[in-house]
Every structure is written in C-alpha cells, then in structure tokens.
Amino acid sequence: MAGLTQVTSIGPFFIVLGALLSALPTRFKMPGKVAFYFGFIFFSFDVVSFTMKPLAQSPIFTEMLSRSSGPLMGALAGM
C-alpha cells in the first residue's frame, strides 16, 4: 500500500503543471490538459483511498464482502 501512496501523491504536481501548460500558447494547451486530467485522476485515487480506510477496518463490511458469491454481488455490497 505504501507504493500506491507514493504514486498518488504526484497528482497535485501534475494538476499544477497542467494548469500552467494550459495557460501557454496553443501548442502546449493539449499536453497541459492531458497532464491536468492525469493529475486529477491520481489525486482522486488518493482522496478515495483516504476516505475508505475506516470502512476497510470495519468487520461488518469485510464480512459482507467475503460472503459475496460473485462480481455482481461484490459490486452491490461495495455500493
């Protein structure tokens, strides 16, 4: 899990880089948007993993997920 945290922590860097590149002339607008959205995805992963930590430690939730018999049931239990 430590490796995932290191990867997701680069999100804000790419968000700022993308915003700066998007402000430059037209040649850099598209790579700037790509960098911005790439950073936004990784930042979102970081936020979701942080907010789900208490749920992962809940015995009720882990029991419900372990009893799910297929992918559809797992997705429903996750929702």
Model pLDDT, residue 24? 84
pTM: 0.64
Q: Which of 16-20, 42-46, 63-67 has the lowest mean pLDDT?
A: 63-67
Q: How many CA atoms lie within 13 A of 46 on its CB side?
A: 16
Model pLDDT, residue 3? 57
Model pLDDT, residue 35? 92
pLDDT tens, residue by residue, 34-61: 999 999 999 998 888 888 888 878 888 7
d(CA 12, CA 16): 6
Residue 14: Cβ within 10 Å count: 19
